[in-house]
Structure 1
Amino acid sequence: MRWIRLLPILLSATVSLLGLGAAAQSTSSQATALVVPYAPGGGHDSVARILAPRLAERLGHSVIVENRPGANGMIGADYVARAKPDGRTILLASPAEIVIAPSAYKKMNYDPMKDLAPVTLAATTPVVIVANPSLGVRTLADVIALAKRTPEGLAYGTPGEGSSQHLAGAWLAHLAGIKLLHIPYKGAGPATNDVVAGHVPLAIVGMAPVLPFIRDGKLVAIAVTSPERVTWAKDVSAVAESPGMKDFAASHWMGVMVPGRTPADIVQRLQADFATVLKLPDVRDRLAALGVDPVGDSTAAFRDYLAVERSLFAQMYKFSGLTPE
């Protein structure tokens, strides 16, 4: 199993002190841990480091970003699920460890629906299909036409096998009737770098890590996988605009979750704190610069959102050809 093979590496999870470049350290009893289940430098990590100092102002004590990467986010999620339910250990969750893992694994160390409690949907970021300019494609129709002329399969990189981006690619290939060859990487950064270098023709990744390359002309934005075009990138079409794709939607999101036994009053207090922080103009501006749209909805709305997402990704998982481990 992936979990077993990766365990020696995963146990070396990095703990990063908020924005100070300090050496890793354990969370103080006087601090709140904002756990990122991925390595430093990615989209979740960047968002956490924007939110943490403003959240600390609301809470009246320090908020430390802890990176606990591994097993497609499950190391960090399991850590939070087992933490004391006092509101001092918070997960900045992603689809992988919450709504995809139940389809990918026959057995898990935690139940995302029971051992973790939803607080709020913090933000969404569109998944985007990007290409190296030398490939000569500018639209999704161009990509589909090229794939049909490439019977061995048109390669695309993603942050990893079974990721939301991988499943989006599998669903796209199914709907378009084309063959796409999935190339998994250990994160969006390496996948993006290989497309920029011309080693892989396409990538399907979150908008945040590729936005600078798109702005500099080093990558071509083919289409976003959100239901509609995003307001700050109106010139990039949505996959759903293409014939036969009207129901296609696969956004990447960042959700706030706490241990499942956390009292309701603590959950509601945290929901209010995060919602307030996500409305701050400077926070919204900094998130927008990363290609991230802040949300901060109610706990009930986030719970309903997760139920829909789990059903959607279960369907997408079938198109990937993967089998549960």
Structure 2
Amino acid sequence: MNTRSLFLGVTALSVLSITLSQACAQDAAYPSKSITVVVGYPPGGSTDLTGRAVADHLAKSLGVPVVVENASGAGGAIAALKVSKAQPDGYTLLLGANNEIAINKLITPATVKYTYKDFTPVGLVATTPMVLVASNATGVKDASQFLRAVSSKPGRFSYGSSGVGTALHLAGEMVKQQGGLFMTHIPYRGVAPLSIDLVGGGLEYGVFVLSSGLPHIRSGKVVALGVTEKQRSPVAPEIPALAEVPALKNMDIGVWFALMAPPKMPPHILSKLRTALSEVLQTAEFRKRLEESGSTIAPLDVDMDRFLADESSKYQKIVEFAKVKE
């Protein structure tokens, strides 16, 4: 090797060493500035409330400000796409739900330009069941009566949700699939008009997120037929699970919230975020805050890669059954 080649080799190694040292120093210093948690919906909804709770407690755990940015639109897809394209430096995160992370791509594959694989999962935060309800006008009091009534008159009855392709819609389609039912789906522009028609008797059945449905259920304005997850909810243990009825024994679908990061996150930063989230999930104040809103804190040992793959597969089957496309 001549002197010039040796010089160039030593120089390259020096530059590489400096670069690696700088990267390690940056990682070690993380976080050194405020972190943004992006939420794909306007303030006040369940995803936003969960995002703000996570942000408040992450700030305490990490020692830097954590702010929420509401980038609403396209069923959460605008926020999700933004985070999937962000720098993987740990300063831009997504607090998302199943709709924007896993479902939207199945419903609108031509326009949604990412999949759940375009994120680095930090961890599952919480889950909340949905609940199938009946209008008092139907006279139906439980899931068994519901199955008999709908089966006896195929196509006669309708159920409503907060929109096409939402988790609520897919939960209703899963009920149809499991029970062998023929019902018409009526999409509403949000929970408020859906509630009005159910309470007024203009719609026979509907699907709510449990937290949204509980005020109407406990006031007697609608009848709870069952929650959509496999087990009863600790928030409302008096409401049976639909899976308790033999014909619906495989019902298991809920709304979940997860903290996601851009792809290709440095392991050291990802580890810090996962440790911080684990601390948050074990904080009594955080647990109380989410449980009061109807959510159940996620276990700490969830394998997110397996979880997301299983959830996506579940939704794919329902979408294919219902032929849901926008």
TM bucket, shorter chain: 0.7 to 0.9
In structure 2, do the counterparts of structure 1 residues 157 and 280 end up closer, same or farther at CA, with 3 Å as the change threshold? same
In structure 2, do the counterparts of structure 1 residues 149 and 245 end up closer, same or farther at CA, with 3 Å as the change threshold? closer
CA offsets 1:300-323 (integer angstroms, 9 cap, x no match):
711210011111111111121224
Match of 2:127 among 116, 124, 127: 124
Aligned twin of 1:58: 61
CA distance in 1, matches of 2:250, 2:154: 26
TM-score of the superposition, structure 2-length normalised? 0.83
Aligned twin of 2:146: 143
Match of 1:317 among 304, 316, 319: 319
SS at match of 2:303: helix
In structure 2, do the counterparts of structure 1 residues 280 and 189 end up closer, same or farther at CA, with 3 Å as the change threshold? farther
Aligned twin of 1:291: 294
CA distance in 2, matches of 1:68, 1:198: 36
Deviation at 1:215, TM superposition (A): 2.5
Aligned twin of 1:155: 158
CA distance in 2, matches of 1:190, 1:76: 26
SS at match of 2:235: helix
1:77 and 1:93 in contact (8 A); partners too:
yes
CA distance in 2, matches of 1:114, 1:56: 27
CA offsets 1:15-68 (integer angstroms, 9 cap, x no match):
xxxxxxxxxxxxxx9432221112222211121222222221122222222222
1:211 and 1:290 in contact (8 A); partners too:
no
CA distance in 2, matches of 1:177, 1:184: 21
CA distance in 2, matches of 1:186, 1:268: 40
The residue type equivalent to 2:68 in the other structure is V
Deviation at 1:146, TM superposition (A): 2.6
SS at match of 1:203: strand
Summarize the alignment of residues 264-303 of structure 1 with structure 2, pairs less than 5 Å apart: 264-295=267-298, 297-298=300-301, 301-303=303-305
CA offsets 1:210-233 (integer angstroms, 9 cap, x no match):
222223323322101101112332
CA distance in 2, matches of 1:244, 1:187: 29
More helix by share: 2
The residue type equivalent to 2:270 in the other structure is V
The residue type equivalent to 1:161 in the other structure is V
Aligned twin of 2:308: 306
CA distance in 2, matches of 1:70, 1:190: 20
In structure 2, do the counterparts of structure 1 residues 188 and 34 end up closer, same or farther at CA, with 3 Å as the change threshold? farther
In structure 2, do the counterparts of structure 1 residues 285 and 245 end up closer, same or farther at CA, with 3 Å as the change threshold? same
CA distance in 1, matches of 2:123, 2:194: 29
The residue type equivalent to 2:233 in the other structure is V
1:231 matches 2:230: no
Q: Percent identity?
A: 35
Match of 2:89 among 73, 86, 89: 86
Match of 1:208 among 207, 211, 233: 211
Structure 2 portions without partners, runs of 5+: 1-31
Deviation at 1:149, TM superposition (A): 4.5
CA distance in 2, matches of 1:199, 1:232: 29
CA distance in 2, matches of 1:316, 1:189: 25
Deviation at 1:87, TM superposition (A): 1.3
Q: Out of 180-189 and 105-114, give the one that drifted further.
A: 105-114
CA distance in 1, matches of 2:34, 2:220: 42
The residue type equivalent to 2:138 in the other structure is L
CA distance in 2, matches of 1:149, 1:277: 49
CA distance in 2, matches of 1:142, 1:70: 39
From the CA coordinates, give the structure whose radius of gyration is larger.
Answer: 2
In structure 2, do the counterparts of structure 1 residues 304 and 141 end up closer, same or farther at CA, with 3 Å as the change threshold? same
SS at match of 1:233: coil
TM-score of the superposition, structure 1-length normalised? 0.83
The residue type equivalent to 2:147 in the other structure is I
2:178 and 2:250 in contact (8 A); partners too:
no
Deviation at 1:292, TM superposition (A): 0.1
Match of 2:260 among 247, 257, 261: 257
Superposition RMSD in Å: 2.1
Match of 1:182 among 182, 185, 203: 185
2:228 and 2:254 in contact (8 A); partners too:
yes
1:37 and 1:74 in contact (8 A); partners too:
yes
Deviation at 1:77, TM superposition (A): 0.4
CA distance in 1, matches of 2:192, 2:58: 27
